[in-house]
Amino acid sequence: MTATAGGRIDPKASVAVRQPDDSSPGAALSRATAHLLSLQHADGWWKGDLETNVTMDAEDLLLRQFLGIRTEEQTRATAAWIRSQQRDDGTWATFHGGPPELSTTVEAYVALKLAGEDPGAPHMAAAAAYVRGAGGIAAARVFTRIWLALFGWWPWEQLPELPPELIFLPRWAPLNLYSFAQWARQTIVPLTVVSAHRPVRPAPFDLTELHTDPANPFPTRPLAPAASWDGLFQRLDRLMHHYHRYALRPLRRLAMQQAARWIIERQESDGCWGGIQPPAVYSLISLSLLGYSLDHPVMKAGIASFDGFTVHTEDGRRWMEACQSPVWDTCLATIALRDAGLPGDHPALVRATDWMLAEEITTRGDWAVKRPQLAPGGWAFEFQNDTYPDVDDTAEVVLALHRVAHPEPEKVDGAMRRAVEWTLGMQSRNGAWGAFDADNTSPLPNKLPFCDFGEVIDPPSADVTAHMVEMLAAVGLAHDPRCRRGISWLLRNQEADGSWFGRWGTNYIYGTMSVLPALVAAGIAVDHPAVRRAVRWLGMRQNEDGGWGEDLRSYRDPDAWSGRGESTASQTAWALMALLSAGERESAAVERGVQWLVGAQRPDGTWDEPQFTGTGFPWDFSINYHLYRLVFPVTALGRYVRDEPLGGGAA
């Protein structure tokens, strides 16, 4: 693996064979530490590529086609990337080694056809055959069919209705805008405008070959029983379609004006929305429908922001990051380097601290809707995202700052104090923490026909709660009643087999790695029954080769996949971090895991990891964080070599 321009890590670089040399854990740690230090940007931050799946690339081309700005160079480079990700059976998956995925394959096929690929070519014919065999376009998810509707390949009448008047619903209404998670509401608001306009741009070709029955390409889905949630919301959706035809025009115009204002108010200084690509895509479409020209400053900035999400490979391909993770990567790298033995006043750590301090968010965002009296303070995941700081990043940043000897300690202390108060104020009623909002737990949004892809609410999770507990313990608040409530929630939510569910990482190994160090840091004894159950579970899940791995299919089928999969560097490190925190340094499991990491290390000090070990939406949207394969092994090896398992921060 090699670093590319801008400090990115190329996961597909050729693998060199390490010559026999010092193969001790300490030597492996030294090599990895040197490589991690070499990737720091001059401004102090770290950022690895955030790889998802080809729907990001296909939708980028479709957006440009819709807006009339698609270029041949972009099309050629993007198509080359999409083609490179196609498997031998003609399909595309959402993660490395995963099963074929219908909607992803549909969008990839359409993008390649848009790029001029011959539908009769073997790779295109194989993709089309899979789509037909999996139910055709009619079986694709709603978001895919919305993209197709923009070009007349699917009728708007057969898509769930999203009226823009939704923006007027008060907070006490069951399905108001703030009952959705932050990532969902950023998408839903612009899509209400799109749904109201129902635009159709002339399609450059048809998609007959993707229908199971070309004579009946748009079959009507049968209604579920009226007494079921599905049936209730299907009938409600029919009423909304009826309302679309007879909506009061002044009210609708006012709703769309309010939606436009809501969208524009949330545009970040870099032109993006929320630091993530999907809301930016739909915001640009909706604003263009509302009459904003491509020359308008909002539109120009939004389109230009995609340059920051674009990765250009050395062989001329082009792919899109769905998001970027500099704050997350920087705090994890800071923790890892401290665990590796760098002194707290090392220049690299001071630079990282200066950058993180400059990224502190001191303005109010959407979180304040439910916490209007809470003072701001915290960090977001991305370069620019002042509207949506999150508890997870904030907890980890505090853990990192806590361990750096900065020349201006009062400046660091002030930021940490504000962050602690803000995150404590974001605790949910059940004692745990979600990522972006407090008490975002209504089950109703997930029942909507529109919401057939990914999570649309942000309930508390074990990994975020654990990071909060560990952070509170680090700053001396382990015995604060709010921290103890978090600990009680974690103990109550341990799985029967001893693991914890991982919401933002794959999956039970990630959850268990998050919780065990937090519990021990907060004073739970290593011989506590919950700790011993988790240790036993990790021991049972260790692979024959000494490593650990977990396939993303554990979200769908935990009985078959929980804690099971090919050994990976990041997941092996997670298991080691958990076991080390539980006092297992001298165990055979830890020794074998460390030896796996040492043996799998590349000559340049990092590791290969094509597997996806990050989670956006459990199962539906998976992430390969390219820095995970380095930063977590540094943390685990550092804690092993230096015998300091708690060190002040587990990610």
3-class DSSP string for 32-97: HHHHHHHCCCCCCCCCCCEECCCHHHHHHHHHHHHHCCCCHHHHHHHHHHHHHCCCCCCCCCCCCC
Catalytic residue of the set 339, 392, 437, 551 = 392
Q: Indicate if the pLDDT at residue 48 is higher than 90.
A: yes
- Residue range(s) defining the domain that contains residue 364: 2-51+323-426+461-642
Which range has the worst mean pLDDT, 116-120, 254-258, 274-278, 522-526? 274-278
- Predicted pLDDT at 238: 87
Claim to verify: residue 137 and residue 10 sit in the same structural domain: no
**What is the structure's pLDDT at 153?**
97
Pick from 287, 320, 353: which residue ends a domain?
Answer: 320
Domain total in the chain: 2
Specify whether 310 is located in the same domain as 328: no
What is the band of 13 on the pLDDT scale with cuts at 50, 70, 90? Answer: very low
Type and span of the H or E element at 190: helix 182-197
pLDDT higher than threshold 70 for residue 8: no
The model's confidence at residue 107, banded by pLDDT at 50, 70 and 90, is very high
Q: Are residues 172 and 253 in the same domain?
A: yes
Predicted local distance difference test score (pLDDT) of residue 21: 53
- Specify if 277 maps to a domain: yes
Could you tell me if residue 439 is inside a domain?
no
Per-residue pLDDT at 222: 84
Flag whether 453 is in a domain.
no
- Please check whether residues 634 and 549 belong to one and the same domain: yes
Structure confidence by residue, pLDDT tens digits, 396-429: 999 999 999 999 999 999 999 999 999 999 999 9
* Residue 5 confidence (pLDDT): 33
| Mean pLDDT value across residues 366-378 | 95
Q: Are 106 and 190 in contact (CB under 8 A)?
A: no
Give DSSP secondary structure letters for 484-532: HHHHHHHHHT--TTS----SSBSSHHHHHHHHHHHHHHTT--TTSHHHH
Domain CATH for 558:
1.50.10.20
pLDDT of residue 14: 31
Tell me, yes or no, whether 432 lies in a domain: no
pLDDT digit string (tens) for 17-38? 344 458 899 999 999 999 999 9
Q: Are residues 131 and 270 in the same domain?
A: yes
Active site residue 604: no
**Distance from C-alpha of 263 to C-alpha of 250, rounded to nearest angstrom:** 20
Asked whether residue 329 is assigned to any structural domain, the reply reads yes
Task: Give the model's pLDDT for residue 454.
Answer: 81
DSSP single-letter state for residue 625: E
Structural domain contains residue 566: yes
pLDDT in tens, 530-554: 999 999 999 999 999 999 999 999 9
Instruction: Dig out the tokens for 456 from the structure.
Output: 């649309």
Going from the C-alpha of 44 to that of each of 3, 199, 358, 604, the distances in angstroms are: 17, 45, 11, 22
Say if residue 311 is in the same domain as residue 418. no
Stretch among 180-184, 515-519, 643-647 having the lowest mean pLDDT: 643-647
- pLDDT tens for residues 189-230? 999 999 999 999 989 999 999 999 988 999 888 888 888 888
What is the per-residue pLDDT for 6? 36
Give the pLDDT confidence of 573-604 residue by residue, as tens digits.
Answer: 999 999 999 999 999 999 999 999 999 999 99
Q: Does residue 32 lie in a domain region?
A: yes
> What confidence category does residue 651 fall into, taking pLDDT thresholds of 50, 70 and 90?
very low
pLDDT-derived band at 617 (thresholds 50, 70, 90) equals very high
Give one word for 87, left, alpha or beta, with left for phi > 0 and alpha for psi -120 to 50. beta
Percent of the chain with pLDDT over 70: 96
Shared domain for 99 and 18, answered yes or no, is no
pLDDT confidence of 281, banded at 50, 70, 90? very high
Position 245 scores a pLDDT of: 87
Within a domain: residue 413? Answer: yes
583 and 602 within one domain = yes
19 and 110 both lie in a single domain:
no
User: Predicted confidence band at 644 (pLDDT cuts at 50, 70, 90)?
Assistant: low
Determine the pLDDT at residue 650.
39
316 in the same domain as 331 = no
Whole-number Å distance between alpha carbons of 527 and 535: 10
Claim: this prediction has a pTM higher than 0.85:
yes
Among candidate residues 275, 293, 320, the one where a domain is terminated: 320
349 lies in the same domain as 305: no
Q: In this structure, are 91 and 196 located in the same domain?
A: yes
Distance of alpha carbon 637 from its chain centroid, rounded? 26
Residue at which a domain ends, from 304, 320, 336: 320
Q: What mean pLDDT do residues 628-637 have?
A: 98
